[in-house]
């Protein structure tokens, strides 16, 4: 049996025998739930037929009314022998249901998770055409299910997106893959990061090849708009108030803030962001993934970058004030020149 099938069989044995090396045949028969068998549920077989088959075949292994863990595994090894690899989901589903196991308790090995990722990549590769790369393909598919536009999806949306790609896996396997990429364990998967992984893989893992999807992230425009609306509502105290909050929190004066400082600074200034919105905005400004962002870069993102003409005008004004080319201008000099009229 594959590691996945064997792990499910052993999980069933643990539930029945509670850690013992052997179990009475009567106990096994009493625990076996034939009506829950997939073929009974689909009406292909009668529960009585499934139950009698189980009792007859496993009963041949009973020695003095006892069944060992090895006997139990060998029983399923025989079933496994007539089920090809593509019946993996059916085999696991069958064992889970007849022994009353929850799919979320089924363990999936790292090797199996990697196999699933390989399958997903192949499906993505088949749908990638022209100038697109695998990262763009992932983003297009997953973005369709991102109803709130935050760049993240939940497990149910993840399942639907994979089905669109032609990928169907057992619930516990999907859960294992989702948890692998849900790095913050908040129940949401960042599909831009997910897509970037496929883009790099599709480029041949060559660091000199930059896939068109790239490592760059789209601006979280919806979240930025929400922050701007709050700042506008506060009028002149918007940006200024935010600056006061962050300067007060910047104990070492480096104008950098970690996740908690950034989150509490925004909250103190009246910004009400959901956890996913906050993660979206923080990840966007944390360009090098070092866990900190600079306040100046954040302000530029909120205000919007100046165009070239505006930058030139500002530089000309400063050059006029900076008469000694020291790179510094006294406040009194600014006050003397600035014409408020």
Which CATH number covers residue 12? 1.10.238.10
| pLDDT-above-90 percentage for the chain | 15
Among 173, 202, 231, identify where a domain stops. Answer: 202
Query: How many independent structural domains does the chain possess?
Result: 4
Secondary structure letter of residue 63 according to DSSP: B
Find the domain containing 238 and state its range: 221-303
211 found inside a domain: no
* Exposure on the CB side of residue 247, measured as CA atoms within 13 A: 7
Q: What angle do CA 156, 106, 101 make, to 5 degrees?
A: 95
pLDDT of residue 305: 56
Count other C-beta atoms under 10 Å from residue 51's C-beta.
Answer: 19
Instruction: Give the pLDDT band of residue 206 (cuts 50, 70, 90).
Output: very low
Same domain? For 91 and 14 the reply is: yes
Total-model pTM: 0.43
Same domain? For 115 and 174 the reply is: yes
Residue with tokens 């997903």: 120
pLDDT of residue 237: 66
85 found inside a domain: yes
Mean pLDDT of the chain: 81
Residue 219 pLDDT > 70, yes or no? no
312 found inside a domain: yes
Same domain? For 313 and 299 the reply is: no
Among 41, 69, 101, identify where a domain stops. Answer: 101
- pLDDT tens digits along 157-180: 998 999 999 888 877 778 888 888
Same domain? For 94 and 12 the reply is: yes
- pLDDT tens digits along 103-150: 655 667 777 788 889 899 888 888 887 667 788 888 889 988 888 777
Most confident of the ranges 88-97, 205-214, 303-312: 88-97
| Range from 125-139, 200-214, 242-256, 320-334 carrying the lowest mean pLDDT | 200-214
Same domain? For 13 and 86 the reply is: yes
97 found inside a domain: yes
Same domain? For 7 and 53 the reply is: yes
Same domain? For 116 and 97 the reply is: no
Instruction: Give the pLDDT band of residue 35 (cuts 50, 70, 90).
Output: very high
Residue 42 pLDDT > 50, yes or no? yes
Among 66, 101, 136, identify where a domain stops. Answer: 101
Same domain? For 7 and 96 the reply is: yes
Nearest to 35 by CA among 88, 87, 99: 99
Are the C-beta atoms of residues 9 and 96 closer than 8 Å to each other?
Answer: no
Are the C-beta atoms of residues 3 and 67 closer than 8 Å to each other?
Answer: no
Nearest to 192 by CA among 156, 258, 183, 290: 183
75 found inside a domain: yes
Q: How many whole angstroms separate alpha carbon 296 and alpha carbon 121?
A: 39
- pLDDT tens digits along 45-101: 999 999 999 999 998 888 788 999 999 999 999 998 888 877 877 888 899 889 988
Same domain? For 15 and 78 the reply is: yes
Same domain? For 249 and 272 the reply is: yes
Same domain? For 9 and 96 the reply is: yes
Same domain? For 196 and 181 the reply is: yes
């Amino acid at each position: 049996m594959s590691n996945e099938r064997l792990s499910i069989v052993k999980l069933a044995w643990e539930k029945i025998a509670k850690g013992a090396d052997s179990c009475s045949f009567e106990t096994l028969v009493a625990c076996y739930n034939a009506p829950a068998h997939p073929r009974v549920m689909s009406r292909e077989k009668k529960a009585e037929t499934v139950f009698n088959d189980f009792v007859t075949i496993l009963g041949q292994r009973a020695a003095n009314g006892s069944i060992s863990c090895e006997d139990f595994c060998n029983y399923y090894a025989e079933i496994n022998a007539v089920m090809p690899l593509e019946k993996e989901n059916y085999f696991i589903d069958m064992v889970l249901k007849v022994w009353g196991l929850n799919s979320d308790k089924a363990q999936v090995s790292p090797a199996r998770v990697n196999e699933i990722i390989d399958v997903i990549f192949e499906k993505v590769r088949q749908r990638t055409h022209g100038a697109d790369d695998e990262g763009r393909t992932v983003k297009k598919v997953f973005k369709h299910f991102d109803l709130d536009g935050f760049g993240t999806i939940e497990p149910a949306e993840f399942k639907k997106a994979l089905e669109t790609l032609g990928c169907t896996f057992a619930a516990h396997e999907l859960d294992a893959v989702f948890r692998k990429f849900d790095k913050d364990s908040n129940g949401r998967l960042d599909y831009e990061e997910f897509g970037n992984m496929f883009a790099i893989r599709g480029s041949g893992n060559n660091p000199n090849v930059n896939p068109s999807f790239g490592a760059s992230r789209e601006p979280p425009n919806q979240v930025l708009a929400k922050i701007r609306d709050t700042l506008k509502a506060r009028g002149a105290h918007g940006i200024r108030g935010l600056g006061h909050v962050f300067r007060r929190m910047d104990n070492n004066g480096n104008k950098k803030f970690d996740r908690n400082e950034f989150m509490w600074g925004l909250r103190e200034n009246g910004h009400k962001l959901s956890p996913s919105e906050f993660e979206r905005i923080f990840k966007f400004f944390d360009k090098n993934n070092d866990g900190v962002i600079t306040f100046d870069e954040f302000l530029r993102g909120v205000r919007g970058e100046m165009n070239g003409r505006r930058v030139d005008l500002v530089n000309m004004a400063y050059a006029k004030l900076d008469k000694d080319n020291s790179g510094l201008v006294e406040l009194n000099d600014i006050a003397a020149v600035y014409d408020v009229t």
